[in-house]
């Protein structure tokens, strides 16, 4: 039986396990990426492992999330990151050089390789034929130290594309349509692999946009084949020698095949406040908009910016709209400028910002009260924009620019002829925003500002757990709920005691104090708990407050892995209805939890203070169980190194 592209990459990198769906495997990681918001912690963890230089083929540290130097802390973090990259043999992409996923696609993505990134949208590089996955900072630190990445063998879903996108319809509409069909849980435990004749009609950056939002399906990764289009893209980036063809075998199979006819698609839009709340633009057209932003790692490539500029050649922005451009990278900005795009945008009234994440992670650009903000971004989770009760819609650059012109949500097909964008045969390339590592780095000094605090130490798991239910939440809780970001909180990412004061602040500001006073505590949740970001602070900070276990209906993959890494026992209800039998404030005991974990038990008995008992599942690999018993991955690794393992 032939192999699909995902299986080819996995089999070429498999160091443990077999390719049986759902079973634990470990993969060799060729490349890693970090960004500043998760990176400071990842590098502190890397230092704690004690390796002299990264062992990957390539590791890159990007600075793109927090560029707002409102005080010394942010600039200090940047200097720390630059010096630690230089010390350990890591490429450093400077502040303002661009969003990690856009720059990685341009300068480093390489077909057939594996990439692990401490950012959930790392799968964007799957547009270039890679298996690219998001993970917590500690997993990325381990990969930099040469350790394989542990996950369960994903199910590979084939998405067969036919036809061709119609004028004014673009890649974002493809993935919004899939989010409409499959929901934010539809991809959990899966890799989405695209194939079929429609693939050849999509550029690598279009494929990147689709792969990027595969994360919003909950997928582990999204993979496109590497074909002539990929070769041309790499040639346009002066990297043709890194290209290799990679297609599924004729007789390859998929766990499931989803058919999508590109010709039948129309402009789509995700309504507040979830990326899967998708309808046709036509269904919500006419609603007044106050802010429109083109940007983020989903849609800020050359074609996205130039499409907007061309549509604005003879038009102006509505006087009621703040129209903003966040270019994906300096390369995008420079190439768009050479084509005269910036002139059009400025003349039409656009506000041009620096290259980075900006408003996508709530670093500025918060919308006005009770107004609609239309964004080409990845996520519209409640409050992520920085405004309470926000109304954020997610759409394509085409829908964004059409709506910015009219001042109301507009189907771009009402705008007449669509602009035709030819991609450059050769991009203007200037790598002065990327500092390569030197050969001998041993004497380089690491610069630490006063905001960089060392990692907290965590106790091993006790024999029995007696915990209070400090919080009970519903389905689809995101990491933005658990550990919000934004301009007030992001500067605290290198300071666990300080950031932990904001855990669950948007839904229950009393939580940190309550958790500390009731510790040890447990949190109860519904389906898809922890969807969204890869931020390990959503596990690390709760653990610091005394959270020792979580009991939910189901978990999102990266968050579950982060919980394990920081010693919080992730359990699921054997019978989901048991969720209703237990309330906030109750005490529960789990006798013999440590022994249950170490003996490989699949379930444990949970006893509530009211005398009720029920079963909770432990869906964990052997390695996960050792880590949890040790109290954290770092404890376990250190014990292994010193020979004092469980």
Q: Where are the extended beta strands (E) located within 398-535? A: 434-435, 465-472, 521-524
- Cα-based distances in Å from 620 to 167, 219, 432: 48, 19, 45
Rounded Cα–Cα distance for residues 168 and 492 (Å): 42
Q: Which one of 234-242, 355-363, 507-515, 569-577 is the stretch in contact with ligand SF4 (CB under 6 A)?
A: 355-363
DSSP state of 29: -
- For residue 6, the partner it binds in ligand MIC, ligand SF4, none, with Cβ less than 5 to 8 A by kind, is none
Angle at 358 between CA 357 and CA 364, to 5 degrees: 160
Minimum CB separation of residue 65 from ligand SF4 in Å reads 6
**Cβ-based nearer residue to ligand MIC, 190 or 535:** 535
Q: Does residue 169 contact residue 265 with C-beta atoms inside 8 Å?
A: yes
Residues 57-76 contacting ligand SF4, CB under 6 A: 65
- Cα-based distances in Å from 197 to 8, 202, 273: 20, 10, 34
Residue 90 interacts with ligand MIC (CB under 6 A): yes or no: no
Residue 373 interacts with ligand SF4 (CB under 6 A): yes or no: no
- For residue 535, the partner it binds in ligand SF4, ligand MIC, none, with Cβ less than 5 to 8 A by kind, is ligand MIC
Residue 121 interacts with ligand SF4 (CB under 6 A): yes or no: yes
Q: Which one of 162-170, 220-228, 231-239, 357-365 is the stretch in contact with ligand SF4 (CB under 6 A)?
A: 357-365
DSSP state of 52: S
Cβ-proximal residues to 521 (8 Å cutoff; 6+ apart), any chain:
467, 468, 469, 470, 471, 514, 515, 545, 546, 547, 548
Cis peptide leading into 520, omega within 30 of 0? yes
Kindly give the interhelix angle for 622-630 and 557-565, rounded to the nearest 10 degrees: 50
Spot the catalytic one: 500, 533, 534, 554.
Answer: 533
DSSP state of 86: H
- For residue 99, the partner it binds in ligand SF4, ligand MIC, none, with Cβ less than 5 to 8 A by kind, is ligand SF4
Rounded Cα–Cα distance for residues 372 and 322 (Å): 11
- For residue 37, the partner it binds in ligand SF4, ligand MIC, none, with Cβ less than 5 to 8 A by kind, is ligand MIC
Choose among 540, 548, 524, 545: nearest CA to 463.
548
Minimum CB separation of residue 204 from ligand SF4 in Å reads 17
User: By CB under 6 A, how many residues form the interface with ligand SF4?
Assistant: 10
Minimum CB separation of residue 116 from ligand SF4 in Å reads 15
Largest CA distance in the chain: 72
Tokens encoding 342 = 């910036």
Cβ-proximal residues to 500 (8 Å cutoff; 6+ apart), any chain:
512, 541, 542, 544, 545
Beta pairing class for 190-195 and 221-223: parallel
Spot the catalytic one: 30, 36, 65, 624.
Answer: 65
**Cβ-based nearer residue to ligand MIC, 119 or 411:** 119
Site string (118-137) toward ligand MIC, x via CB under 6 A:
-xxx------------x---
Residue 183 interacts with ligand SF4 (CB under 6 A): yes or no: no
Minimum CB separation of residue 123 from ligand SF4 in Å reads 11
**Cβ-based nearer residue to ligand MIC, 468 or 533:** 533
Rounded Cα–Cα distance for residues 13 and 24 (Å): 14
Residue 155 interacts with ligand MIC (CB under 6 A): yes or no: no
The reply to whether 535 belongs to the active site is yes
**Cβ-based nearer residue to ligand MIC, 119 or 324:** 119
Minimum CB separation of residue 485 from ligand MIC in Å reads 6
Choose among 138, 147, 180: nearest CA to 281.
180
Place of tokens 């925003």: 433
- For residue 307, the partner it binds in ligand MIC, ligand SF4, none, with Cβ less than 5 to 8 A by kind, is none
Q: Which one of 40-48, 506-514, 527-535, 637-645 is the stretch in contact with ligand MIC (CB under 6 A)?
A: 527-535
- For residue 296, the partner it binds in ligand MIC, ligand SF4, none, with Cβ less than 5 to 8 A by kind, is ligand SF4
Q: Does residue 371 contact residue 381 with C-beta atoms inside 8 Å?
A: no
The residue from 153, 188, 485, 489 that contacts ligand MIC (CB under 6 A) is 485
Rounded Cα–Cα distance for residues 27 and 186 (Å): 24
Minimum CB separation of residue 124 from ligand SF4 in Å reads 8
Query: To the nearest 10°, the Cα dihedral for 127, 205, 301, 330?
Result: 70
Residue 361 interacts with ligand MIC (CB under 6 A): yes or no: yes
Spot the catalytic one: 13, 379, 384, 413.
Answer: 379
**Cβ-based nearer residue to ligand MIC, 112 or 484:** 484
Q: Does residue 503 contact residue 482 with C-beta atoms inside 8 Å?
A: yes
Q: Which one of 84-92, 143-151, 505-513, 531-539 is the stretch in contact with ligand MIC (CB under 6 A)?
A: 531-539
Report the DSSP beta bridge partners of residue 372. Answer: 391
**Cβ-based nearer residue to ligand MIC, 66 or 572:** 66
Minimum CB separation of residue 533 from ligand SF4 in Å reads 7
Residues 12-71 contacting ligand MIC, CB under 6 A: 37-38, 65
The reply to whether 379 belongs to the active site is yes
The residue from 534, 554, 565, 632 that contacts ligand MIC (CB under 6 A) is 534
Site string (82-111) toward ligand SF4, x via CB under 6 A:
-----------------x------------
Query: What would the DSSP string read from start to end of 168-186?
Result: T--HHHHHHHHHHHH-TTT
DSSP state of 489: T
Q: Does residue 193 contact residue 5 with C-beta atoms inside 8 Å?
A: yes
Q: Does residue 219 contact residue 309 with C-beta atoms inside 8 Å?
A: no
Residue 378 interacts with ligand SF4 (CB under 6 A): yes or no: yes
Q: Which one of 113-121, 417-425, 495-503, 574-582 is the stretch in contact with ligand MIC (CB under 6 A)?
A: 113-121
Half-sphere exposure of 63 (CA within 13 A, CB side): 29
Report the DSSP beta bridge partners of residue 549. Answer: 522, 569
- Phi first, then psi: what are they for 223, rounded to 5°? -125, 130
The residue from 535, 550, 559, 560 that contacts ligand MIC (CB under 6 A) is 535
Choose among 289, 330, 294: nearest CA to 309.
294
Residue 297 interacts with ligand SF4 (CB under 6 A): yes or no: yes
Rounded Cα–Cα distance for residues 587 and 608 (Å): 6
Residue 132 interacts with ligand SF4 (CB under 6 A): yes or no: no
Residue 380 interacts with ligand MIC (CB under 6 A): yes or no: no
- For residue 567, the partner it binds in ligand MIC, ligand SF4, none, with Cβ less than 5 to 8 A by kind, is none
Binding site for ligand MIC (CB under 6 A): 37-38, 65, 119-121, 134, 361, 485, 532-535
Which residues are annotated as catalytic? 64-65, 119, 379, 533, 535
Residues in contact with ligand SF4 by the rule CB under 6 A: 65, 99, 119, 121, 296-297, 357, 360-361, 378
């Amino acid at each position: 039986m032939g192999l699909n592209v995902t299986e080819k990459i996995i089999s070429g990198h498999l160091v443990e396990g077999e390719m049986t769906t759902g079973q634990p495997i470990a993969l060799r990681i060729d490349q890693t990426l970090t960004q500043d918001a998760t990176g400071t912690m990842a590098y502190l963890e890397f230092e704690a492992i004690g390796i002299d230089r990264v062992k990957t083929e390539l590791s890159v540290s990007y600075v793109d999330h927090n560029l707002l130097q409102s005080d010394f802390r942010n600039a200090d973090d940047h200097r720390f990151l630059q010096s630690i990259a230089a010390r350990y043999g890591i490429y450093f992409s400077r502040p303002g050089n661009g969003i990690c996923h856009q720059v990685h696609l341009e300068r480093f993505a390489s077909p057939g390789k594996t990439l692990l990134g401490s950012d959930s949208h790392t799968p964007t590089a799957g547009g270039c034929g890679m298996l690219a996955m998001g993970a917590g900072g500690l997993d990325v630190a381990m990969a930099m130290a040469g350790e394989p990445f542990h996950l369960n063998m994903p199910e590979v879903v084939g998405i067969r594309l036919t036809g061709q996108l119609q004028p004014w319809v673009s890649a974002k509409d493809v993935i919004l349509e899939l989010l409409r069909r499959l929901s934010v849980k539809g991809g959990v435990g899966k890799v989405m692999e695209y194939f079929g004749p429609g693939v050849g009609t999509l550029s690598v950056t279009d494929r990147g946009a689709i792969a990027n939002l595969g994360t919003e399906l909950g997928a582990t990764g999204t993979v496109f084949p590497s074909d002539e289009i990929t070769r041309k893209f790499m040639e346009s980036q002066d990297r043709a020698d890194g290209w290799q063809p990679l297609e599924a075998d004729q007789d390859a199979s998929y766990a499931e095949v989803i058919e999508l006819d590109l010709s039948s698609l129309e402009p789509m839009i995700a309504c507040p406040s979830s990326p899967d709340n998708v309808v046709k633009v036509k269904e919500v057209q006419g609603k007044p908009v106050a802010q429109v932003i083109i940007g983020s790692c989903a849609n800020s490539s050359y074609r996205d910016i130039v499409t907007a500029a061309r549509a604005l050649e003879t038009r102006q922005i509505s006087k009621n709209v703040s129209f903003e451009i966040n270019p994906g990278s300096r390369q995008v900005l420079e190439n768009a400028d050479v084509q005269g795009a910036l002139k059009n945008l400025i003349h039409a009234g656009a506000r041009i910002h620096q290259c980075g994440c900006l408003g996508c992670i709530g670093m500025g650009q918060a919308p006005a009260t009770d107004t609609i903000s239309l964004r080409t971004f990845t996520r519209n989770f409640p409050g992520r924009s920085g405004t309470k009760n926000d109304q954020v819609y997610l759409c394509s650059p085409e829908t964004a620019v059409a709506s910015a012109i009219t001042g109301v949500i507009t189907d771009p097909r009402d705008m007449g002829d669509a602009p035709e964008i030819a991609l450059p045969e050769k991009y203007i390339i200037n790598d002065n925003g990327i500092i390569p590592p030197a050969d001998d780095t041993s004497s380089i000094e690491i610069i630490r500002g006063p905001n960089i605090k060392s990692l907290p130490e965590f106790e091993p798991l006790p024999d029995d757990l007696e915990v209070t239910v400090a919080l009970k939440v519903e389905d689809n809780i995101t990491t933005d709920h658990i550990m919000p970001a934004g301009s007030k909180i992001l500067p605290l990412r290198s300071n666990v005691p300080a950031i932990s004061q904001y855990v669950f602040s948007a839904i229950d500001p009393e939580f940190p104090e309550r958790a500390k006073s009731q510790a040890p505590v447990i949190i109860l949740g519904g389906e898809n708990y922890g969807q969204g970001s890869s931020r390990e602070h959503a596990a690390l900070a709760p653990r610091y407050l005394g959270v020792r276990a979580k009991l939910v209906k189901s978990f999102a993959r990266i968050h579950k892995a982060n919980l394990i890494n920081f010693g919080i026992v992730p359990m699921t209800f054997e019978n989901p209805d048991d969720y209703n039998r237990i309330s906030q404030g109750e005490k529960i005991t789990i006798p013999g939890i440590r022994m249950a974990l170490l003996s490989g038990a699949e379930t444990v008995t949970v006893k509530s203070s009211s005398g009720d008992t029920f079963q909770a599942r432990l869906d964990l690999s052997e390695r996960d169980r050792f880590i949890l018993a040790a109290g954290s991955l770092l404890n376990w690794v250190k014990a292994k190194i010193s020979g004092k393992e469980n």
